[in-house]
Structure 1
Amino acid sequence: DILNHWAKDDIQFMVNRGLLAGTNDVSFSPDAAVSRGTLAAILGRMANADISGYTKSSFTDVKKDAYYMGYVEWVNTKDIMNGKTSAAFVPDSAITREEMALILFNYTKVMKMNLPAIYAENIFADASKISAESADAVKQLQMAGILAGKSENRFDPQGIVTRAEVSAVIHRFIKLTMNGTLDQGWTQNDAGQWMYFENGTAVKNQIKNIDGKDYKFDIFGIATDISASKPQADTPEKNKETYTVKSGDCFWSIARMFNVDMYTLAVSNGKTLSTIIYPGEILIIPQQ
């Protein structure tokens, strides 16, 4: 059910890294809501948190045998994500976009991560609807390129986060923390619409020639002639062959597999030969 979804690559990244599984053996349910328990598990797995010491739940509504029990204890202990009350975590409740922003921002502070300002600050059209508690988190994560807007430059702070949306956000987060930066140029917002960034600012309200093709951008920076479900291979960067890193892979083994130069492989992906590559990471294979 993700074959033609705009977040297909993001979802595959999450599944490959063991951060988020399908809802059953054949479905991912990309447009279903993300629950508080699931987000706790994602963050704990992302941090490689040791939850072996958590054998009892602090909350009456989190069962001892729930897959997220240890992760709920971890995020609560670290003050990344607390219960709705002292007794209830409400693990099945859906997460809103502003809640996700605040929780991720808390995670960066606990993990001692400094978020870079890669993009210019964007004043969302519905900024007045963002709670005071979450406003700074939204700003910092937007400027770091982790969170983006939706149609008509809305942030949609009370909107429910979907499994596809959290996959895209966490994928950006991991790319940023692994590489120290995010590619600009073509990128998708949190509704899967294509935008183009130059020097941290979206191209808006013009027709721009990019790699020999004209694209029309509306006043909000959305490329109006590219649909949200358009395959990423249609953008210049994505035309190149790619490979998803598997456990045990290294630059030497992948270069040998594709009969390419190991150094060129690393440089083509903005890395050095000493850079660690992780299962689930997508590498561009340089063309001969």
Structure 2
Amino acid sequence: VNGKENSRFDPEGAVSRRDFALMLTRMLGVDVSGYTNTPFNDVKADDYALGAIAYCAENGIVGGDGKGNFLPGDSITREEAAKMISVAKELTGTTTEKFKDDAKISNWAKGYVDACKAAGIFGGDEKGNFNPKSPITRAETAKIMVVAMDK
């Protein structure tokens, strides 16, 4: 994980969908230099994360919004991050231990969140909530990437 402008890490800052794709491919150790075609309407050919986004799209790690857009500058939510990690690492585990706010997790994301929880990649907050719709922070992203490396 690189710093932001002015050599700041900004641990509580949100992570864009673009940057999460980039961090994920770095964590996977994937060479994305050969991915030069944009898979989405809103990802420009000169986007610094084009290779990572294209790799993730080709491998089913990310999808668009149904209109051909990726929304690269939008903050990634915790449940979206769980999907990407789960697919990238081919996680299939389950657990009966649910987060206290399990009912707030989107139906499409429940299996991914469950697999990440079973693998020990994601934990809850101090109250046991997952906070699925909240943007994931840079500190959380760094932590889950380090944990996921060994899964």
Whether the TM-score (by the shorter chain) exceeds 0.5 is: yes
**Alignment of 1:156 onto 2:131:** yes
User: Which residue in the other structure is 2:13 paired with?
Assistant: 32
Q: Tell whether the 8 Å contact from 1:59 to 1:86 is kept in structure 2 after alignment.
A: no
Q: Which amino acid aligns with 1:54?
A: Y
Partner of 2:42: 61
Mean CA deviation greater in 46-55 or 132-141: 46-55
Question: 1:27 is aligned with what amino acid?
Answer: R
Alignment of 1:40-119 (within 5 A): 40-109=21-90
CA distance in 2 between counterparts of 1:42 and 1:172 reads 13
d(CA) in 2 for partners of 1:122 and 1:82?
A: 28
C-alpha displacement at 1:105, in angstroms?
1.0
Distance (Å, rounded) in 2 between the aligned partners of 1:144 and 1:114: 9
Query: CA, structure 1 residues 114+130, in 2 after alignment: closer, same or farther (shift >3 Å)?
Result: closer
Question: 1:114 offset after TM fit, Å?
Answer: 6.1
Structure-1 separation of matches of 2:33 and 2:136: 29
Give the deviation of 1:65 after TM superposition: 1.8
Q: Does structure 2 conserve the Cα–Cα contact (< 8 Å) formed by 1:54 and 1:70?
A: yes
When the two structures are superposed, what TM-score results if normalisation uses the length of structure 1?
A: 0.49
1:114, 1:143 → 2: CA distance?
A: 9
Residue deviations 1:153-211 (CA, integer Å, cap 9, x gap)? 1111111101111111111111x33xxxxxxxxxxxxxxxxxxxxxxxxxxxxxxxxxx
Letter aligned with residue 78 of structure 2:
R
TM-score between both structures, scaled by the size of structure 2 = 0.90
Deviation at 1:86, TM superposition (A): 4.6
Following superposition, the deviation at residue 87 of structure 1 comes to 2.5
Q: Which has the higher helix share?
A: 2
CA contact (8 A) 2:89 2:148 kept: no
Q: 1:170 aligns with which of 139, 145, 151?
A: 145
1:152 shift after superposition: 1.3
1:47 to partner: Cα distance: 2.1
Q: Is the 8 A contact 1:121 1:142 kept in 2?
A: no
Letter of the 1:30 partner, please give it.
Answer: P
Higher relative contact order (CA 8 A, sep 6+): 2
Aligned residues: 151
SS in 2 for 1:172: helix
Report the Cα distance in structure 2 between the residues aligned to 1:86 and 1:56, rounded to whole angstroms: 18
Residues 225-280 of structure 1 deviation map (CA, whole Å, 9 limit, x = unaligned): xxxxxxxxxxxxxxxxxxxxxxxxxxxxxxxxxxxxxxxxxxxxxxxxxxxxxxxx
Could you list the runs of 4 or more consecutive aligned residues of structure 1 that deviate by over 3 angstroms after TM superposition? none
Aligned counterparts of 1:171 and 1:164: Cα–Cα separation in 2: 11
Q: Which amino acid aligns with 1:160?
A: P
CA RMSD of aligned residues (A): 1.8
The aligned counterpart of 2:103 is 128
Q: Is the 8 A contact 1:108 1:114 kept in 2?
A: no
Q: Is residue 2:123 matched to residue 1:142?
A: no
Output aligned runs, 1:238-257, within 5 Å.
Answer: none
In the TM superposition, what are the counterparts of 1:162-201 in structure 2 within 5 Å? 162-174=137-149, 176-177=150-151
